[in-house]
């Protein structure tokens, strides 16, 4: 398999600010699962479907934008932009600029939380959004993205 073929079967997973604290941050809201555990399960599931993933966590908006740009080399993007979901025009513009299928993902149901969290600037430029299922949100988002990619490859 060439490097180009390998990237066709690669998905970038990008976690935003404070997600590195999962498992110990607001456990009643976000649960006890750590980010490392989520990434390990995503890798296992992706491999079962013939894909690989590369995962990154960044706390700064500029670093997230840079990672979205780098994701352009891969088949698709799972993005939990955390608090930047509701504020970052720069992230929205980066998603549009790279032009790869992107799924927005959140552990909690953003529509049942504070009013300022109920608006996503990213959702309109993503192929889908999964939220409210805890770590399963990531796994459902991955399955949806892989199904979408396989449909495009057929």
Q: Is the pLDDT of residue 26 over 90?
A: no
Identify the residue whose tokens are 């927005």. Answer: 104
pTM beyond 0.95, yes or no: no
Tell me if residue 139 is catalytic: no
| pLDDT tens digits, 57-79 | 999 999 999 999 999 999 999 99
* Chain segment 72-108, per-residue pLDDT in tens: 999 999 999 999 999 999 999 999 999 999 999 999 9
Q: What is the domain extent for residue 93?
A: 3-153
pLDDT band at 113 (very low <50, low <70, confident <90, very high): confident
Asked whether residue 6 carries a pLDDT value surpassing 70, the answer given is no
49 by Cβ neighbours in 10 Å (0-12 / 13-18 / 19+) ranks as: middle
| Residue 28 banded pLDDT, cuts 50, 70, 90 | confident
Choose the catalytic residue: 30, 84, 138, 139.
30
Question: Six-digit token pair at 126?
Answer: 């993503």
| Rounded Cα gap, residues 154 and 138, in angstroms | 24
At residue 136, the pLDDT reads: 97
106 flagged as catalytic? yes
List, in sequence order, every residue forming a beta bridge with 106; answer none if it has no partner. Answer: 131
The CATH number of whichever domain residue 64 belongs to comes to 3.40.50.9100
CA atoms of 110 and 116, how far apart (whole Å):
9
Domains: count for the chain: 1
User: Which residues make beta-bridge pairs with 89?
Assistant: none
Q: Which of 15, 84, 106, 139 is catalytic?
A: 106
């Amino acid at each position: 398999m060439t490097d180009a073929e390998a990237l066709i079967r690669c998905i970038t997973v990008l976690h935003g600010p404070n997600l590195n604290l999962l498992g110990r941050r607001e456990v009643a809201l976000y649960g006890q699962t750590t980010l490392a555990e989520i990434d390990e399960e995503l890798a296992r599931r992706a491999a079962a479907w013939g894909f690989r993933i590369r995962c990154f966590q960044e706390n700064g908006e500029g670093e997230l934008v840079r990672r979205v740009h780098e994701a352009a080399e891969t088949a698709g993007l799972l993005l939990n932009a955390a608090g930047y979901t509701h504020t970052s025009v720069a992230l929205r513009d980066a998603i549009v600029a790279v032009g790869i299928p992107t799924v927005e993902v959140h552990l909690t149901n953003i529509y049942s939380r504070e009013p300022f969290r109920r608006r996503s600037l990213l959702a309109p430029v993503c192929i889908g959004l999964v939220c409210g299922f805890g770590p399963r949100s990531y796994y459902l988002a991955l399955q949806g993205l892989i199904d979408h990619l396989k449909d495009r490859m057929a």
